[in-house]
Structure 1
Amino acid sequence: MKKLIPFFFLIFIFNVGYCQLNFPQPDNIKTVILKPTTTNSYAPIIKLGENIQLTFDDLNADEHTYYYKIEHCDFDWTVSNLLESEFVNGYAEDRILDYENSFNTLQPFTNYTVTIPNENTELKISGNYIISVLNEDEQVVFKRAFVVYESKVTVGAAVYRSRDISTINSKQSIEFTINNSNFRINNPSEEIRPVILQNNNWQTAIMGLKPQFYRGTELLYKYNKETSFYGGNEFLYFDSKSIRNSSLNIVRAELEKGLYHTYLYTNEERINRPYTLFEDVNGNFIIRNLSSDTPNTDADYSWVHFSLSCLENLDGKDIYVSGSYNNWELNDLNKLTYNPKTGLYEVAILLKQGFYNYQYVTKNKAGYISNYDIDGSFHKTENDYTVLIYYKGFGNRYTQVIGVGFANSEKLNN
C-alpha cells in the first residue's frame, strides 16, 4: 500500500459571491441562454472543440444589429493579457447574423442566435471566457461567462454525507481526486486551483482548496467540512407551455393589458416539513410551446406571479426567486416584497413560455446567500456537483482548465 504524505499548511476556504459574474442587462433583453448544443446539457461548460450556443430575445423587436466579442479570462474572471491571436483562430469579434422575429406572439421580440466555434471564430485554448454582446456603437449590452476545458487530468468526484454531527442531516460534502499520470505538475499546492459548483451556481462556489495528500500520481482532496454545501430542498417548478390555461402548479392565466398573466399557486415554507422527493432539473429551465416546434420564436411572454407564505423571522434579509433563468442573479427584478393586504411575499417576473425550476433564497446585509432559510435543507436532496481543475504553471501566461469532474448526490456516500 502506498504511503499517504500529508501537506501541512494554512488552508483558505471561502464561498464566493463572484461579483465579476453578476452582469446587468437592459430591460429589453430577455431569456439569455448560454449552453452546449448537446442534448440535456445546461451548464456553460464545454470541452475544447465542442459547440456552445448563445440565444437571447430583444423585446424592442427592431432587428437591431448586434455583435459578439470573446475574451479570455484568468482564474478570477479578470480579462487575461493574451493577444486575441493567442486564444482564437479567426476573429474574436463579429456580427450576429442569425436572427428572426417572433411569430404569432402578443409580446413582439427578435430572437438572436450565435454558436461558438463557427466559420469565423474558433477557440484555441482552455480557460475562462466571457462573451459580450455589443450594439452598433460598440457598447456592451450584456455579458455571459463560460468555461472551456481540456482532459489533461482525470477527476473523480463523489458526494458524502457531512461528518459534522450538527449538520449531518442538512449538508452534503464533495471529495475528489486528481490523477495526473499524463500531465506533469511540479507544485500542486500553488499550481492547481480547484473550484466546486453546486448546480452550476457560481454565487456559492467553493475554492481555495489545497491537496491534502499525494498518492503516486494522484492528488487527494478528502475534505468534508470545508467542501460542504447545504443540500437545500428540491426545486419548485411550473410549466407554462400552454400559456392560456392553468396547468402544472399554475392556478390560472389571464389576459391583462395585452399580455398574459400567469398566477402560480402560493408556495408555503417547507423548513419544518419532512423531505419529499420529486423530480427537478436542478434550477434549470426549458423554453417550450405546446403548439409549436419552434419555441425560440413562437413561445410568448407572460407575467408570472410568485407568492410565498412565510412565517420565519427574516429581519435584515431579502427574499428572491432564484434559478438559472436569470443566471442565478439576485436583483430588484426577482426580489419579493411583503404585501400587507394578502400577508404574502410577492413578485411578478416577465418570463418566456416553458418549464422552469426555481427556489426561494435569502440574502443578508453581508451578502450571504441561504437556500435553507425558507425551504430547509436535507442531506437527501438531489443536487449536481461540478469540480473544475484550474492550472497555471510557474512562468505560464494564462490559466488553463485541465479537467472536470461531475457527481450527483443521488448516489450519496456515508
Structure 2
Amino acid sequence: MRLSSCLLGGLLLAAACVPLGTPITDPNARASAPGQTKPPEYYADRTLRYQDYTYDPNVRSVQCFLATGQPNEVFQPPVAPLGQAGFTLEFDVLGEQAPRLTARLVHCDFNWQPSVLTDLQFLSEINEFLLTDYRPGVNTLTPYYHYRLRVPQVKLSGNYLLVVQGAGGTPLVSRRLLVYENQVNVRLQPGLVAGGTERYSLQQLNFAISYGQAQLINPAVEVKVALRQNFRWDNAKYTLRPTFVREAERRLDYQFFNFENAFPGLSEYRYFDTRSLQAVGLGVARLDRTSRPTGVELLPETTRGNLAYNQYQDANGQRVFENREFGNGDVNADYASVTFQLRAAQPAPGPVYVFGALTDWQLKDEFKLTYDAEQQRYAGRALLKQGYYNYSFAVPGGAGAPANEVYFEGSHQQTENQYDLLVYYRPPGTRADLIIGYQQVDMNGRP
C-alpha cells in the first residue's frame, strides 16, 4: 500500500505536517468558526498519555517524522539510529495569535511508562526546548500558525515521548520517538500462513534474532520485541516469545502456527485529494467555495468487505499537506470542511468511524459518523488541512482489541503493507530498556 518515490514526486508534489482529528458534525449543519465549537469529550482530559495524542482541539495537522531531505520524508516514521539527528515535529495552532510553547523529552521503558533515568543520563542539554520556528498561514480563510521543532539528539537508544506544552505546562501534543542501535542482527521476512481460508486474508511475518558477539544474559526471557504494521501502535504485537532458542548458533527464532505473528492484510486505503480548492480532485464530488471554510463533499463510498482485491498504490493510511496552486503547504494550505459519505443499506452492529493517520489511528468521537436511514448512508464532517489523504472506515473491535477495519474494508493477502520489528533488551544492573535491533520489510512491494 505504499507510494513509490517516483509516484510521490508526481502525485503528491511536496509535503510537510501531520493532520489531526477535527470535530465531525452533522453534514447538514452549518460549520462553526474555529474556536467556537465546544471541545469534544476526547479533549476534556488533559492528563498526559504516553502515546501519540492531541490534547487541544485547536492543535491540528500534527506530523512527526525522520527528516531525510527527500521529497517524501514525511512518510518516514520517527525511528532513527543512535547518533543521527533528524526527528521533526510539525503542527498548526488555530487562531490569530501564536502561543508560547515549549517541548520536553520523556524517556520510557518497553511498556511506554516513564523510566527512572534523569534527564542528564539521556540528554546533553536542558530538557526544555522553546519552539521558536513558527509562521502564520498565508491568505487562508482559517487563521493558524504553523510550528516546527527539530528534536535534539539523545545519548541512549530506546523509547522517547516528545511532549509539547502550553501555558502552565498543559500538554498539547505528545508523539512517540524511537532510537535504535544495531547490536544484534534482525532477519524479518514475509512467511506463509499455515491455515485454511486465513491464508487469503492474513499476512504473516517470521523473524529471527542473531546475537553473535553481543553479551545477552538469558536472551530467551530478557529480549522483548514489538512487531508493527505500517508503523502503527494501535495493533502492534508485544507478547511474542521465541519459539526456538538455538544457543549454539546464538539465535532466537520466532515462527508461530496460531497466527500470533499475523495481521489482517486489509485493502489498499481509500483516498481523496484536496490539494486544490479551485478544482475537484481525486475522490471529491463537489466543492462549495461560498462557504467559510470551503466545503468539500467526498464521493460516496461503499463497503468492500466482500469484494475481490483491487490493486492500486496508496500511502499506507498516511497523508501529506499541500497547496497545488501556491506550493509550500506548511503555510499556504488552507483548511476545508470535508464531508465523508458511506452508503449502507442498514446500520452496522456498532458505531462507524473514519480511521487512519488523520485520526492518530484512534476511534475518536469527533470522527464518528451518523447514519441516515432514509438516505441509507453514514455521513460526517471534519475540518482538515488541504492535502492528499488516506483513510478507512472502522468499527470498534471489542474490549482490548484494535479497531475493526475488516468489516468495511475486507482483508487480502495481496495487499501491500510495511512492517517493522523493534528488539529491546535491558542489560543487567541498568535501568533502561535499549533498542538493540531494528528492521523494516515491505510485504507485496510494488516496483
Deviations 1:174-225 (A, max 9, x none): 1011121132212112211111101111100111111122340221111241
Q: TM-score of the superposition, structure 2-length normalised?
A: 0.84
Which of 85, 89, 92 is equivalent to 2:127? Answer: 92
Using the TM superposition, give the Cα deviation of residue 277 of structure 1 relative to its aligned residue in structure 2, in angstroms: 0.3
Take 1:152 and 1:367, find their aligned partners in 2: how far apart are those partners? 33
Deviations 1:140-165 (A, max 9, x none): 12211111111111211111232111
Take 1:274 and 1:232, find their aligned partners in 2: how far apart are those partners? 11
Which of 98, 107, 117 is equivalent to 2:142? Answer: 107
Take 2:441 and 2:392, find their aligned partners in 1: how far apart are those partners? 21
Which of 157, 162, 165 is equivalent to 1:131? Answer: 162
Which of 275, 279, 292 is equivalent to 2:326? Answer: 292
Using the TM superposition, give the Cα deviation of residue 46 of structure 1 relative to its aligned residue in structure 2, in angstroms: 1.6
Evaluate the alpha carbon distance shift between residue 161 and residue 319 of structure 1 in structure 2; reply closer, same or farther with a 3 A threshold: farther
Which of 55, 59, 68 is equivalent to 1:25? Answer: 55
Instruction: Indicate yes or no: 2:121 matched with 1:67.
Output: no
Take 1:199 and 1:394, find their aligned partners in 2: how far apart are those partners? 32
Using the TM superposition, give the Cα deviation of residue 24 of structure 1 relative to its aligned residue in structure 2, in angstroms: 3.9
Higher relative contact order (CA 8 A, sep 6+): 2
Instruction: Indicate yes or no: 2:430 matched with 1:396.
Output: yes
> Where do 5+ consecutive residues of structure 1 fail to align?
1-18
Instruction: Indicate yes or no: 2:360 matched with 1:327.
Output: yes
> Where do 5+ consecutive residues of structure 2 fail to align?
1-48
SS where residue 441 of structure 2 aligns? strand
Take 2:164 and 2:50, find their aligned partners in 1: how far apart are those partners? 16
Take 1:136 and 1:226, find their aligned partners in 2: how far apart are those partners? 45
Name whichever of 41-50 and 323-332 sits farther off.
41-50
Take 1:258 and 1:271, find their aligned partners in 2: how far apart are those partners? 36
State the match for 2:203 in structure 1: 172
Take 2:398 and 2:250, find their aligned partners in 1: how far apart are those partners? 44
Q: Which amino acid aligns with 1:322?
A: F
Using the TM superposition, give the Cα deviation of residue 367 of structure 1 relative to its aligned residue in structure 2, in angstroms: 4.5
Evaluate the alpha carbon distance shift between residue 162 and residue 203 of structure 1 in structure 2; reply closer, same or farther with a 3 A threshold: same
Take 1:125 and 1:279, find their aligned partners in 2: how far apart are those partners? 37
Evaluate the alpha carbon distance shift between residue 113 and residue 396 of structure 1 in structure 2; reply closer, same or farther with a 3 A threshold: same
Q: Which amino acid aligns with 1:160?
A: G
Root-mean-square deviation over aligned CA pairs: 1.7
Take 1:152 and 1:261, find their aligned partners in 2: how far apart are those partners? 52
Contact 2:52–2:176 (CA under 8 A) maintained in structure 1? no
Take 1:371 and 1:312, find their aligned partners in 2: how far apart are those partners? 18
Contact 1:32–1:326 (CA under 8 A) maintained in structure 2? no
Contact 2:220–2:252 (CA under 8 A) maintained in structure 1? no
Take 1:126 and 1:260, find their aligned partners in 2: how far apart are those partners? 45
SS where residue 186 of structure 2 aligns? strand
Take 1:371 and 1:365, find their aligned partners in 2: how far apart are those partners? 12
Name whichever of 361-370 and 128-137 sits farther off.
361-370
Take 2:279 and 2:327, find their aligned partners in 1: how far apart are those partners? 19
Using the TM superposition, give the Cα deviation of residue 267 of structure 1 relative to its aligned residue in structure 2, in angstroms: 0.7
Contact 1:154–1:178 (CA under 8 A) maintained in structure 2? yes
Take 1:116 and 1:22, find their aligned partners in 2: how far apart are those partners? 16
Take 1:336 and 1:303, find their aligned partners in 2: how far apart are those partners? 15
Contact 1:77–1:128 (CA under 8 A) maintained in structure 2? yes
Which of 228, 235, 252 is equivalent to 1:204? Answer: 235
State the match for 2:151 in structure 1: 116
Using the TM superposition, give the Cα deviation of residue 357 of structure 1 relative to its aligned residue in structure 2, in angstroms: 0.8
Residue correspondence of structure 1 range 375-390 to structure 2 within 5 A: 375-390=409-424
Residue correspondence of structure 1 range 304-319 to structure 2 within 5 A: 304-311=338-345, 314-315=348-349, 317-319=350-352
Instruction: Indicate yes or no: 2:173 matched with 1:142.
Output: yes
Name whichever of 272-281 and 220-229 sits farther off.
220-229
State the match for 1:373 in structure 2: 407
Contact 1:159–1:411 (CA under 8 A) maintained in structure 2? no
Take 1:178 and 1:193, find their aligned partners in 2: how far apart are those partners? 11
Using the TM superposition, give the Cα deviation of residue 346 of structure 1 relative to its aligned residue in structure 2, in angstroms: 1.1
SS where residue 120 of structure 2 aligns? helix
SS where residue 220 of structure 2 aligns? helix
Using the TM superposition, give the Cα deviation of residue 318 of structure 1 relative to its aligned residue in structure 2, in angstroms: 2.1
SS where residue 156 of structure 1 aligns? strand
Take 1:20 and 1:203, find their aligned partners in 2: how far apart are those partners? 13
Evaluate the alpha carbon distance shift between residue 256 and residue 26 of structure 1 in structure 2; reply closer, same or farther with a 3 A threshold: farther
Instruction: Indicate yes or no: 2:173 matched with 1:161.
Output: no
Which of 239, 243, 248 is equivalent to 2:273? Answer: 239
Contact 1:174–1:223 (CA under 8 A) maintained in structure 2? no
State the match for 2:442 in structure 1: 408
Take 1:274 and 1:310, find their aligned partners in 2: how far apart are those partners? 18
* Structure with the higher helix share, 1 or 2: 2
State the match for 1:8 in structure 2: none
Q: TM-score of the superposition, structure 1-length normalised?
A: 0.90
Deviations 1:226-271 (A, max 9, x none): 1011111110111111122211111111125421111110111011
Take 1:313 and 1:252, find their aligned partners in 2: how far apart are those partners? 26
Instruction: Indicate yes or no: 2:293 matched with 1:263.
Output: no
Q: Which runs of 4+ in 1 moved over 3 A?
A: none
Using the TM superposition, give the Cα deviation of residue 364 of structure 1 relative to its aligned residue in structure 2, in angstroms: 4.2
Deviations 1:40-62 (A, max 9, x none): 34312122223100001000230
Evaluate the alpha carbon distance shift between residue 256 and residue 331 of structure 1 in structure 2; reply closer, same or farther with a 3 A threshold: farther
State the match for 1:350 in structure 2: 383
Take 1:289 and 1:184, find their aligned partners in 2: how far apart are those partners? 52
